[in-house]
Amino acid sequence: MRHFTSVKDLGDLQAALREAFAVKADRFAYHHLGQNKTLIMIFFNSSLRTRLSTQKAAMNLGMNVIVLDINQGAWKLETERGVIMDGDKSEHLLEAIPVIGCYCDVIGVRSFARFENKADDYEEKILSQFIQYSGRPVFSMEAATRHPLQSFADLITIEEYKKVASPKVVLTWAPHPKPLPQAVANSFAEWMNETGYEFVITHPKGYELDPRFVGKARVEYDQRKAFEGADFIYAKNWSAYTDPNYGKVINTDRAWTVDAEKMALTNNAYFMHCLPVRRNMIVTDEVIESRKSLVIPEAANREISAQVVLKKILESL
Ligand code: CP
């Protein structure tokens, strides 16, 4: 595997899951693969889990790791061609990317949707330029439209906890005060569509996701109805995708918060969220602290998903 930006890059998903469980059983067995190899992790946005889990995964594989926060200590970057650079941006991305490529063997990039231009976001303008100009394998650590390392960890977690072969998995929108990207929801939907699970998405009207990610999921506007019989509830906020409200918060109705009364409608479902989470907006304290909450196992599996992806890239060098 050269680049990793979506589930499609993994190839056989069942084989990738088997590899994940092999890595989890002995995460230091592949330490030789990364010897004398350097990973540079580029962050245009903040992170706790992705930063730590990806660095840990790379260290498990014997790699050297360099982390660069673009907005803290690097030159401010211009990303548009043709701009007269007489403002506060000192360096252009088109020089910065190949320079970064000189110092490493693999590059991880985190670059969220900017909500300035929907086409730029959905064409993955920043991530695509890293792939085009770095000369190195590139993997997404959450880009404008997808968060595949998170979705892979979510799938590993569901496989570990499911009690039936094809569980009912519900992705539910929940309220948040600030506009968040659609990336986690898009990506989760994309990965769930690759499984044989029963997959339902529930959200208020106006929060429809890009149909390319919704795929064959059933969309149910009644959250309570969607929860009935569910084995897994995956909560996430996202801002509006459809025009003219792209990137906007159009609803903060706390009737959509996941609480114990709604969880009681499910088939004793597990609760999932990628974190960070705003308690008592997205989910109540009671639900996230319950024994059915999988938020910590999901975060732990981020190390595994990152290690499988890095392992596959290292094997292709
Ligand atoms: N879930 C996730 O990607 O967390 P961070 O934003 O902290 O990396």
Could you give the 3-state DSSP secondary structure of residue 138? strand
Going residue by residue through the chain, which has 317 residues, state the pLDDT in tens, using 9 for 90 and above.
999 999 999 999 999 999 999 999 999 999 999 999 999 999 999 999 999 999 999 999 999 999 999 988 889 999 999 999 999 999 999 999 999 999 999 999 999 999 999 999 999 999 999 999 999 999 999 999 999 999 999 999 999 999 999 999 999 999 999 999 999 999 999 999 999 999 999 999 999 999 999 999 999 999 999 999 999 999 999 999 999 999 999 999 999 999 999 999 999 999 999 999 999 999 999 999 999 999 999 999 999 999 999 999 999 99
Mutational test site, ligand 1, from 41, 43, 50, max ligand atoms within 8 Å of CB: 50
Mutational test site, ligand 1, from 43, 49, 302, max ligand atoms within 8 Å of CB: 49
* 84 C-alpha to ligand 1 centroid (Å): 35
Q: pLDDT value at position 71?
A: 86
Q: pLDDT value at position 303?
A: 98
Q: pLDDT value at position 38?
A: 98
Ligand 1 binding residues, C-beta < 6 A: 47-50, 142, 150, 274-276
Dist CA 133 CA 137 (whole Å): 11
- Nearest Cα residue to atom 3 of ligand 1: 50
Dist CA 317 CA 307 (whole Å): 15
* 188 C-alpha to ligand 1 centroid (Å): 14
| Burial profile 25-41: b = 16 or more Cβ within 10 angstroms, e = fewer | eebeebeebbeebbbbb
Neighbours of 245 (CB within 10 A): 14
Q: pLDDT value at position 259?
A: 98
* 81 C-alpha to ligand 1 centroid (Å): 30
124 with 132: CB under 8 angstroms? no
* 47 C-alpha to ligand 1 centroid (Å): 5
Ligand 1 atom, smallest distance to 142 CA: 3
Ligand 1 atom, smallest distance to 149 CA: 3
Mutational test site, ligand 1, from 298, 302, 309, max ligand atoms within 8 Å of CB: 302
* 274 C-alpha to ligand 1 centroid (Å): 7
Mutational test site, ligand 1, from 142, 149, 236, max ligand atoms within 8 Å of CB: 142
Percentage helix, strand, coil, to 5, in the chain? 40, 15, 45
* 260 C-alpha to ligand 1 centroid (Å): 25
Residues 163-206 have pLDDT tens digits of 999 999 999 999 999 999 999 999 999 999 999 999 999 999 99
In the chain, alpha helices (H): 13-25, 49-60, 93-102, 118-122, 125-133, 148-161, 183-192, 211-214, 223-227, 260-263, 285-288, 295-315
* 141 C-alpha to ligand 1 centroid (Å): 9
Q: pLDDT value at position 157?
A: 98
